């Protein structure tokens, strides 16, 4: 298991942060009913690293990931993605950022039930206007990368939970994001299948093209990470593994 802040490769921590959070606050509501989900969070995601955020359900992990990926805005502090100030962006600019820089994977898979695995992966490429032949080639490639190419024509109901999550990961990778954000990607999977998904994410990072940020409540999922943090009471702490 990697020590917090330790590197599998001494060069992997070099270079500018792809995502940088400084003093990030997120409060829901106001007055005496206000809930402070995040309290002064600092976090840097460096290229080609797998970072895990641990915390119990309701600890604010999803809030943190949503802000890191531009799905939500902080009520205080600063968030930069690819060197760009997300807080200064318009809603459309944040949408374009998510389409080009950041890919998302969620606990619930989010696959379209009447589409095949390949068609699901191709959805964001259709939206982006990728030409059909290029789209098909890219879909085939990412399905192969996640080990699900032989099930390309299967619909979600014909796939196991682990296979569906591999399709969801392929869909997130199809637009070649620099950062992949996975919110409880093993939450609906048994322990063995969940570990296989984490190993897949590890291989994606080791390919050198994608940085991965994962939120989980399962301490075992941190075993393959480069960096591990615990989120408690809105504060982010380097983990003692």
pLDDT in tens, 138-197: 999 999 999 999 999 999 999 999 999 999 999 999 989 999 999 988 888 888 888 889
| Mean pLDDT, rounded, for 65-88 | 91
What's the confidence (pLDDT) of residue 122? 95
What's the confidence (pLDDT) of residue 241? 53
Tell me the helix, strand and coil percentages in the chain, rounded to 5.
35, 25, 40
Which is more confidently placed, 5 or 121?
A: 121
Question: Tell me, which fold does domain 1-101+177-241 have in CATH?
Answer: Rossmann fold (3.40.50)
Query: 41, 215 in Cβ contact below 8 A?
Result: no
Q: Residue 240 pLDDT > 50, yes or no?
A: yes
Task: Output the 3-class SS for 11-64.
Answer: CCCCCCCCEEEEEEEEEECCHHHCEEEEEEEEEEECCCCEEEEECCCCCCHHHH
How far, in whole angstroms, is CA 203 from its chain's centroid? 14
Query: 158, 184 in Cβ contact below 8 A?
Result: no
DSSP codes of every residue in 72-121: S--SEEEEEETTEEGGGS-HHHHHHHHHHTEEEEETT----TTS-HHHHH
Query: 81, 155 in Cβ contact below 8 A?
Result: no
What angle in degrees, to the nearest 10, is found between the helix axes of 161-173 and 132-145?
130
| Mean pLDDT, rounded, for 52-74 | 90
Per mean pLDDT, which range of 10-14, 92-96, 226-230 is the poorest?
10-14
Question: Any residues with CB less than 8 A from the CB of 133 and at least 6 apart, and which?
Answer: none
Which is more confidently placed, 84 or 220?
A: 84
Q: Residue 12 pLDDT > 90, yes or no?
A: no
Domain ranges of the chain: 1-101+177-241, 111-174
Q: Residue 87 pLDDT > 50, yes or no?
A: yes
What's the confidence (pLDDT) of residue 26? 94
| Mean pLDDT, rounded, for 22-27 | 94
What's the confidence (pLDDT) of residue 164? 94
What's the confidence (pLDDT) of residue 4? 37
Q: How many CB atoms lie within 10 A of CB 229?
A: 24
Q: How do 227-232 and 235-238 pair as beta strands?
A: antiparallel
Q: Residue 10 pLDDT > 80, yes or no?
A: no
What's the confidence (pLDDT) of residue 35? 86
**Rounded to whole angstroms, how far apart are CA atoms 225 and 241?**
11
pLDDT in tens, 26-56: 999 888 888 889 999 999 998 989 999 998 8
């Amino acid at each position: 298991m990697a020590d917090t802040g330790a590197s599998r490769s001494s060069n992997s921590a070099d270079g500018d942060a792809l995502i940088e959070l400084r003093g990030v606050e997120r409060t829901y509501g106001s007055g005496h009913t206000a809930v402070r989900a995040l309290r002064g969070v600092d976090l840097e995601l460096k290229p080609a690293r797998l970072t895990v955020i641990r915390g119990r359900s309701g600890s604010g992990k999803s809030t943190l990931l949503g802000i890191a990926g531009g799905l939500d805005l902080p009520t205080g502090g600063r968030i930069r993605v690819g060197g760009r100030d997300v807080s200064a962006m318009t809603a459309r600019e944040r949408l374009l950022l998510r389409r080009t820089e950041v890919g998302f994977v969620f606990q619930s898979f989010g696959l379209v039930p009447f589409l095949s695995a390949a068609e699901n992966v191709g959805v964001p490429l259709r939206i982006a206007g990728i030409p059909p032949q290029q789209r098909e080639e890219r879909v085939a490639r990412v399905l192969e990368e996640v080990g699900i190419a032989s099930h390309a024509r299967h619909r979600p109901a014909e796939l196991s939970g682990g296979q569906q999550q591999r399709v969801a990961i392929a869909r997130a990778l199809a637009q070649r994001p620099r950062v992949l954000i996975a919110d409880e990607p093993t939450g609906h999977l048994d322990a063995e299948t969940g570990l296989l998904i984490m190993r897949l994410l590890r291989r994606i990072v080791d390919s050198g093209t994608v940085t991965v940020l994962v939120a989980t409540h399962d301490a075992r999922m941190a075993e393959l990470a480069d960096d591990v943090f615990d989120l408690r009471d809105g504060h982010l702490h380097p983990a003692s593994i």
